[in-house]
């Protein structure tokens, strides 16, 4: 499957380094690693603005949709329409729904059906996959 933005691993590494991304950003976004819970810079971050893909800059979430799910990762109840693609993930002996950036296929995290109304969704994201833009 092709995406609007494609690069080699070396190009992604260089891009993330130039942006000052967290050390885990490459493994998280390009190889579906998961940061440890309660360690990400956005887990308890509540500023007003928007969250973007650290790799390509695509807007993913508005800060008003962020909530404290108590799970150890930044959680959102609503994604920007069309910004996220979902895939069935059967790794680690579980069945989950992986979320990736529609523009560049960066692994973001997973979405679960246990979030607040009105969506009932919890987009559980890795901080290392996100970049924040204040209003």
- Between the CA of residue 37 and those of 14, 18, 54, 70, 124, what are the distances in Å? 26, 26, 19, 10, 11
Is 124 in the active site? yes
| Helices assigned H by DSSP within the chain | 9-18, 25-31
Q: What angle do CA 115, 118, 123 make, to 5 degrees?
A: 35
Place of tokens 């607040």: 116
Which residue among 53, 56, 101, 124 is the active-site one? 124
Residue 61 · residue 124 · CB < 8 Å:
no
**Rounded-to-integer distance, Cα 2 and Cα 55, Å:** 16
Structure tokens, 37: 């819970």
Catalytic residue ranges = 124
């Amino acid at each position: 499957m092709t995406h609007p933005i494609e690069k080699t691993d070396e190009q992604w590494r260089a891009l993330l380094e130039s942006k000052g991304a967290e050390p885990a950003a490459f493994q998280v976004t390009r190889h579906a690693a998961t940061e440890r819970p309660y360690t990400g810079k956005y887990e308890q971050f509540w500023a007003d603005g928007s969250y973007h893909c650290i790799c390509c800059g695509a807007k993913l979430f508005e800060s008003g949709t962020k909530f404290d799910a108590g799970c150890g990762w930044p959680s959102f109840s609503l994604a920007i329409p069309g910004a996220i693609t979902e895939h069935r993930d059967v790794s680690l002996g579980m069945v989950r729904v992986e979320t990736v950036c529609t523009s560049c296929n960066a692994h973001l995290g997973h979405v679960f059906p246990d979030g607040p109304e009105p969506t009932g969704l919890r987009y559980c994201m890795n901080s290392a996959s996100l970049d924040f833009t204040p209003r």
